[in-house]
Amino acid sequence: MTNDPLTIRNVSGLLDAPNGDLWINGETGVARIASDEMQHALADSHYVIKVQSLEEGDLAGGRSIHARPSAVVDSTGRFWFSVSRYLVFQDPQGFADRHSPATTSIRDIKADGILLKPGQAAPAGTHTLSIDYLGVQLAAPEQVRYRYRLLGEDLSWRDAGTGTEAIYTGLKNGTYQFEMMASNGAGVWTGLPQPLAIKVLPFFYQTLWFKALSGIVLVSTAWLLVRLRVRIAEAELRARLSGRYRERIRIARELHDTLLQDFHGLMFQFQAGRNLIDRRPEEAMLSLDEAIADTKKALTTSRDAIQDLRSEPSAAGDLAELIKTASQELAHAGDEDNEPPKFELIEEGEPRELSPAIRDEVHRVALEILRNAYRHAGAHRIEAEIRYGNGALRLRIRDDGKGIPPEVLKEGRKPGHWGLRGIRERAERIGARVDFWSETAAGAEVQIEIPGSIAYERSPNGVWSRLLRKVRNRARYY
């Protein structure tokens, strides 16, 4: 049994070569069966004999239909065959030399034109890797053909024809194996004794140790940012509690210094009225009327102080809404016999989200300014203006009332009152600048300016500016 039955069909000539090979002239032309194939067939009756069909050159074309036998050997040992219309001869010894396997080897390896030593890795960033190889078959060197592949890059063999150089560009870092095979022209392929190992070095940032170090740095940075955020939150909470405590101290001081004095004075007024009832009833009535008016003022002052004491920081709502709400409450809490001033709010620029702590403090300052305007200025019109700028947040409140006395502006407070001083203390606490303008009978104007890096929750310059702002706030709170 053979792998090509047509080669042994209508055989008209058989010849035994000195090396044991069997030459056949059959229907399709001359074929050859190697001696070792014959030995296998004799040892195993089921063995499929591999037949080498010589389908190229003069030996192809089928046997002659006239010659019998169609294959003979002459005195010099050459084999003669009758093929088609020709007579051809073949030296079996020379044929064996020409069809011997080719010898393969690697001549050199170059990385971007630089010759690499045996075992040397290609440097990081290598763009072009070239491999020179060679297959030697001295009997018929022109018939040598090549194919190669680079394991890790090629999915299949590349047919190189007669080329003896493999070129690769843009290889990633890593380890590869280069394989090549050379054919002797008669269908016999010979590979390298062992695959060629090729290593392309990585850049430092592609190494395992660098990736591990980067992971550690990333995790450490995330942990530090979390810790910093927690400390910032703690600092903000302490700042709020500290501000609330200072506010209660201020209110308690005002209750002690102002309300107690007012009530003490009222006690003397009522006592004087009581003493005058029997002797001078008219003077007693005037004294009691003054005491009642002073009592109303004391109650208003007490209500304002208690309202400040009970008020909590605003949890939600923007600054404009908080100021509108405060204005409406103050308007409804005024004297019912007099019409409240007309209030108008103006916003300039794109509204921005404020830091909660800043928003609470600005709201309290605005509440104190509005309270003075509604209760003491005798104004007909009150305006509030909020300007959102990239560099700063500005709040300006003006009225057309009787103004602030020059001596009060100079001293920074009215005897027995703490409103202006409280406004300045709040502004200083949040890093803001406060300015007062006033003329007698021409109204008053108060402006608060806060740097944008402090006021805004999200700075337009990005995450780092926001982080810097929080760190500054944290330092300020401490």
Contacts of 405 (CB under 8 A, 6+ apart): 414, 440
pLDDT tops 70 at residue 141: yes
Residue 251 has pLDDT above 60, yes or no: yes
Q: Looking at per-residue confidence, does 215 or 439 come out higher? A: 215
Q: Which of 5-19, 155-169, 458-472 has the highest mean pLDDT?
A: 155-169
Whether 409 contacts 438, CB under 8 Å: yes
Coil vs helix vs strand at 162: coil
User: How far apart, in whole angstroms, are the C-alpha atoms of residue 140 and residue 98?
Assistant: 6
What are the Cα distances from residue 381, in Å, to 46, 374, 435? Answer: 118, 10, 20
**DSSP symbol at 259:** I
Are 303 and 262 in contact by the 8 Å Cβ rule? The answer is no
Give residue-wise pLDDT tens across range 417-430.
556 777 888 888 88
Per the CB < 8 A criterion, the answer to whether 32 and 22 are in contact is yes
Secondary structure of 382-429 in HEC code, one letter for each residue:
EEEEEEECCCEEEEEEEECCCCCCHHHHHHCCCCCCCHHHHHHHHHHH
Q: Indicate if the pLDDT at residue 134 is higher than 90.
A: yes
How would residue 158 be classed by pLDDT, with cut points 50, 70 and 90?
A: very high
pLDDT of 317 over the 80 cut: no
Average pLDDT over residues 391-415: 81
* Closest C-alpha to 20, from 42, 1, 37: 37
Angstrom CA distances, 248 to 198, 258, 299, 366, stand at 78, 15, 19, 18
pLDDT-wise least confident of 54-63, 143-152, 197-206, 431-440 = 54-63
Give pLDDT tens digits for 338-356.
Answer: 788 899 999 998 888 888 8
- Burial call 428-465: b when 16+ CB within 10 Å, e when fewer: ebbebebebebeeeebbbbbbbbbbbbbbeebeeeeee
DSSP state letters, 316-331: S--HHHHHHHHHHHHH
When comparing pLDDT for 76 and 222, which is higher?
A: 222
Instruction: Evaluate whether 383 touches 342 at the Cβ level (below 8 Å).
Output: no
What is the residue-averaged pLDDT of the chain? 80
**Angle at 191 (CA atoms; ends 169, 178), nearest 5 degrees:** 25
- Asked whether the predicted pLDDT for residue 100 surpasses 90, the reply is no
pLDDT, one tens digit per residue, over 6-31 is 777 888 888 888 888 888 888 777 88
Q: Name the token pair of 450.
A: 């806060």
Q: Residue 124: pLDDT above 70?
A: yes
Report the percentage of the chain scoring pLDDT > 70: 78
Is 90 exceeded by the pLDDT of residue 148?
Answer: yes
What mean pLDDT is predicted for residues 283-288? 78
